[in-house]
């Protein structure tokens, strides 16, 4: 039986569509923070080739690429997994009030993310576990919010599960080689405003390969984008989904796994992890849930010769 076959249920709430689907009995809700055009493909992708892009471009319009501006569409979005016993929030976007001088598109945002969370049926205090796929500026932002001039945990009852390898890489108090030039610039201040307060509040839990978040929900190390990048495997009954974070930013990388984003810290390791995830998804017929995709925001991966191709609308319309 194909994995994660539950149809997409578009739930009208307060005039706004809240995306949801099921993995077995686990209800998954998408919480959008931001959407817009981000960058041209030749800027985002290392190793970009015009001819390789052009042969697939039509498939990306209009949900993944805007030909008028020549830029890729991107989303900041989080996912709530409700098992009936636990409510798990996967990735926390960019957050409000965060100073990001080297990435102004995500700096000093004022979004209604928490209101959207509420419209999906959840208050911050309802979240039991927060999982960050990796420590980058647009995946840890809502870990904290500014209250009376102090960064405080947003999800006060939750334990925050973060990759241990990323702590060692990003924490300026750790004695490591440290991040690369691009990573240092765009993530300036991130650890201090979005991770350090979690540690000081005693809410941080550091994950390694094979970490079990809950029964049937396991983290697997897939380093490269960052040293600690993790994929969250979610299985229930015959259904399987892989929440892959930034293993891929755009469907073009399914056709071309060798194309890294410019934000990958270790280029060759990122390529290896991407190929590993794509192979796993194709062989196991898993639903793939990337961090920034448009369209239905999820894909499937099919084998095509020696490579792969995406199925961009894998969920039946509800």
pTM: 0.93
Give the tens place of pLDDT for each residue, 153-211.
999 999 999 999 999 999 988 755 556 545 667 788 999 999 999 999 999 999 999 99
Query: In degrees, to the nearest 5, what angle opens at C-alpha 172 toward C-alphas 167 and 174?
Result: 60
Q: Are 38 and 72 in contact (CB under 8 A)?
A: yes
Which CATH code of 3.60.15.10, 2.40.10.220, 3.40.50.150, 3.40.50.300 fits the domain covering 9-311? 3.60.15.10
Give the tens place of pLDDT for each residue, 250-294.
999 999 999 999 999 999 999 999 999 999 999 999 999 999 999
pLDDT mean over 71-93: 97
pLDDT mean over 97-125: 95
Query: In degrees, to the nearest 5, what angle opens at C-alpha 272 toward C-alphas 268 and 277?
Result: 145
Q: Which of 117-121, 147-151, 188-192, 203-207 has the lowest mean pLDDT?
A: 188-192
Give pLDDT, residue 174. Answer: 79
Distances (CA, A) of 260 to 58, 86, 111, 129, 241: 21, 34, 29, 30, 23
Give pLDDT, residue 1. Answer: 32
Domain locations in the chain as residue ranges:
9-311
Q: Where residue 70 falls among pLDDT bands split at 50, 70, 90? A: very high
Give the tens place of pLDDT for each residue, 129-146.
999 999 999 999 999 999
Give pLDDT, residue 183. Answer: 60
Give pLDDT, residue 178. Answer: 58
Give pLDDT, residue 51. Answer: 97
Give pLDDT, residue 50. Answer: 97
H or E segment and range at residue 130 = strand 129-131
Sequence-distant (≥ 6) Cβ neighbours of residue 298 within 8 angstroms: 21, 241, 287, 288, 289, 290, 314, 315
Give pLDDT, residue 161. Answer: 98
Share of the chain above pLDDT 90, in %: 85
Tell me if the bond preceding 62 is cis, omega within 30° of 0: yes
Q: Are 264 and 274 in contact (CB under 8 A)?
A: no
pLDDT mean over 19-47: 96
Sequence-distant (≥ 6) Cβ neighbours of residue 135 within 8 angstroms: 162, 163, 166, 167, 169, 170, 190, 191, 195, 226, 228
pLDDT mean over 42-71: 97
Give pLDDT, residue 172. Answer: 86
Give pLDDT, residue 19. Answer: 86
């Amino acid at each position: 039986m194909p994995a994660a076959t539950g149809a997409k249920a578009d739930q009208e709430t307060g005039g706004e569509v809240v995306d949801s689907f099921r993995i077995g009995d686990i209800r998954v809700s998408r919480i959008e923070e931001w959407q817009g055009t981000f960058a041209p493909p030749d800027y985002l992708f290392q190793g970009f080739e015009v001819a390789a892009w052009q042969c697939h471009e039509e498939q990306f319009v209009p949900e993944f690429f805007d030909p008028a501006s020549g830029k890729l569409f991107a989303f900041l979005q989080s996912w709530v997994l409700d098992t009936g016993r636990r409510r798990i929030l996967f990735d926390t976007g960019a957050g409000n009030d965060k100073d990001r001088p080297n990435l102004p598109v995500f700096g000093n945002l004022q979004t209604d993310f928490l209101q959207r969370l509420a419209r999906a049926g959840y208050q911050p205090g309802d979240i039991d576990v927060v999982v960050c796929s990796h420590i980058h500026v647009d995946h840890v932002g809502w870990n904290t919010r500014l209250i009376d001039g102090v960064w405080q945990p947003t999800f006060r009852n939750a334990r925050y599960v973060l990759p241990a390898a990323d702590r060692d890489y990003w924490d300026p108090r750790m004695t490591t080689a440290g991040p690369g030039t691009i990573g240092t610039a765009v993530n300036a201040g991130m650890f201090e405003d979005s991770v350090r307060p979690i540690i000081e509040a005693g809410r941080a839990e550091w994950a390694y390969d094979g970490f079990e978040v809950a029964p049937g929900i396991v983290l697997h190390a897939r380093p490269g984008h960052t040293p600690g990048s993790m994929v969250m495997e979610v299985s229930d009954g015959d259904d399987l989904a892989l929440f892959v974070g930034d293993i891929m930013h755009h469907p073009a990388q399914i056709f071309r796994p060798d194309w890294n984003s410019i934000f990958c810290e270790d280029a060759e390791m990122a390529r290896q992890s991407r190929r590993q995830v794509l192979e796993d998804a194709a062989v196991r017929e898993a639903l793939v849930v990337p961090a920034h995709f448009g369209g239905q925001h999820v894909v499937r991966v099919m084998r095509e010769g020696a490579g792969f191709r995406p199925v961009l609308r894998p969920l039946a319309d509800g």
